[in-house]
Chain A
Amino acid sequence: MLGKRAKERLRLNIMRLLLIVVTFVYILPFFWMVSTSLKADQDLFLIPPKWFPIPPEWSNYKNAIEYFPFFTYFKNSLIITFGSVLGTLLVSPLVAYGFSKIYWPGRDFFFYLMLSTMMLPFAVTMIPTFIIFKKLGLVNTLWPLIIPSFFGVPMHIFLIRQFFNTIPDDFIDAARVDGASELQIYWKIMLPLSKPILLLVGLFQFIGSWNNYLGPLIYLTDEEKYPLALGLPLFLDRYGTHWNWMMAASTLAIIPIVIFFFFAQSYLIEGIKLTGLKE
């Protein structure tokens, strides 16, 4: 019979095998995107498709960034996204704390009220919301795309609240007995223990803002303010969409997200809990 060590190794290798299979399936969309971005015009429509374009058509990348002011749009995407992520991380945990570790009358009512705001499709609230921003004089600026996150994002507040709830109340109560204010508890206990989930929320908000199309579509009317999300659909053309250029632009567009992702997920390696009460 296999010894304990060997059994564990076998188990891990089976996991590894499963992961490799899964990874192969999951890498396909990304692979196709990059592969298309390197195809020459005549190779785009071949059936069966050419998976490995040889030689690679690097000029597609040049054409992609010349199709529209790529770096201007990129800069705008960065501004909108960083602003939103900052707003989200500043405010959402704060609100989540109010829904989590403080027990107050009416708390559940407001919590469900907040959840209910996610139940109406944006299409029907879009125009009244736009009118509000118009009255504030913020149409054709980047502000309507950044300001809302400074008031908390319900979806993220919900997620953080779930994780806050798993932190033992005894711990918090002990701190209160010791004379800590709520704000101190929030800052010194809740936040440090929640780094992984906060990074995840940051990542999700990053992607949401980066790829947001409808918001920029209705609020921006100056080409110099457009983010990448508005730039990519510009490749679509009845007279011949250059899918290769479009995929090249898309590949470049996801680089920041990839960077953020690897940064965020490294924190998920840490934090293996060794004691009953966390750290």
Chain B
Amino acid sequence: MRKYQRRNFVKGLLFILPWLIGFAVFTVYPIIASLYFSFTEYHVTTKPQWIGLENYKKLFSDVLFVKSLTNTLYYAAGLVPIGLVVGLVLALLLVQPLKEIIFYRGIIYFPSIVPAYAFATIGIWFFHPYLGFINHILGFFGIDGPMWLSDENWAKFTIILLSQWGAGGTALIYMAAIKDIPRELYEAAILDGATRWQMFKKITFPLISPATLYYLVIATLGALQIFDLPQIMTEGGPANSTLSYVMYLYRHAFTYANMGYASAMAWILFIISMFLTFLIFRTSGRWVFYYGARR
């Protein structure tokens, strides 16, 4: 390493030192332990027994494992793009210069802090096939609404829709990103006669791309580990159609005390998460734009 590189290396390391120490003390051992457990038969309160790749082999013939995996990939495929659109649209609405904007912002963020049971019950009511709001509205348009949570073909989708009540967080992040865009860029664009859409496409969207990158990674990881909503609302039903990966993992870890099996599941999830995150970062070079960055 050249001298300045070594200097920077030391500086960089120093700044991340707190995290590095925390990682070494609190994180490394549990990660390695769980990897080890995945190769064992381990019932938590007894000694782990090495069984090599047995757990992994069993997983692929486990019907529920496959189902929970496909369910979860479906969740991810829905939650990530829909959450992005909803969060972004809300953010755009919430940066408008209206007097009462604080009020709207607060209300829209509220569902993110309300406890899960309140959330779940309202959600069930909202989408109730007979008495629910949604089907009422659809009825006005002459559409016979589906059975939502009671229909195995619609249940996951319903949960994805309900998750949008939590889009306030994404909206806040986008709001912060939008605030950072220098006003003069818009002023120049207006002088050039740009339309609102053009300004969004050429100025807003690229300049908030760092936040978008964050959102994509975090939302993907979050979707892959989704647990609370399906657990509370449907407990995995109907007919296991809403069973998520981590719900099934948790069941093996604590209800059946098959921690070895659960650890194997966790590491498969890890590999999938790594892969997807890698993909996101790989393509990010083309669309993520750090304003003013040297590289």
Contacts and interface: CB of A to CB of B under 8 A. Distances in A.
A18 interface: yes
Interface stretch (A53-61, A68-76, A89-97): A89-97
B34 A120 contact: yes
A105 B9 contact: yes
B87 to A, nearest CB: 12
A38 interface: no
A127 interface: yes
A261 B113 contact: yes
B172 interface: yes
A165 B113 contact: no
Interface string A153-164: 011011100110
Contact of B12 (A98, A155, A168): A98
A117 B290 CA distance: 25
B119 A29 contact: yes
Contacts of B19: 91, 95, 114, 151-152, 154, 157
Nearest to A18: B93
A148 B22 contact: yes
A104 B111 contact: no
Interface in A195-211: 196-197, 200, 203-204, 207, 211
A271 B274 contact: no
Contacts of A36: 118
A273 B180 contact: yes
B292 A168 contact: yes
B274 A116 contact: yes
Interface string A97-116: 11100111111001011111
B3 interface: no
Interface string A113-131: 1111111110111111100
B22 A152 contact: yes
A134 to B, nearest CB: 12
A10 interface: no
B27 interface: yes
B266 A120 contact: yes
Contacts of A2: none
A180 interface: no
A257 interface: yes
A211 B293 CA distance: 37
A136 B183 CA distance: 52
Contacts of B213: 162
A155 B263 CA distance: 23
B214 A158 contact: yes
Contacts of A32: 118, 121-122, 125
A234 interface: no
A22 B93 contact: yes
B11 interface: yes
A6 interface: no
Interface in B198-212: 207, 210-211
Given A32-B118, A103-B295, A26 B111 contact: yes
Contact of A167 (B8, B225, B292): B292
A268 B179 contact: yes
B173 interface: yes
A3 interface: no
A189 interface: no
Interface string B224-251: 0100000000000000000000100110
Interface residues of B, number: 101
Contacts of A16: 96, 98
Nearest to B19: A152
A138 to B, nearest CB: 11
A270 to B, nearest CB: 8
B127 to A, nearest CB: 12
A142 interface: no
Interface string A14-32: 0110110011011111101
Interface in B163-191: 165, 168-169, 172-173, 175-177, 179-184
B141 interface: no
Contacts of A115: 217, 277
A33 B31 CA distance: 39
B291 A166 contact: yes
Contacts of B50: none
Contacts of A266: 102
B8 A103 contact: yes
Interface string B37-70: 1000000100000000000000000000000000
26 contacts: A12-B97, A16-B98, A22-B108, A49-B125, A95-B16, A95-B18, A113-B23, A117-B31, A124-B253, A125-B33, A150-B18, A150-B22, A151-B22, A159-B173, A162-B213, A166-B207, A166-B210, A170-B292, A204-B169, A207-B112, A232-B115, A250-B115, A254-B113, A254-B115, A261-B113, A273-B181
Nearest 4 A-B pairs (CB), nearest first? Answer: A151-B22, A168-B292, A98-B15, A104-B12
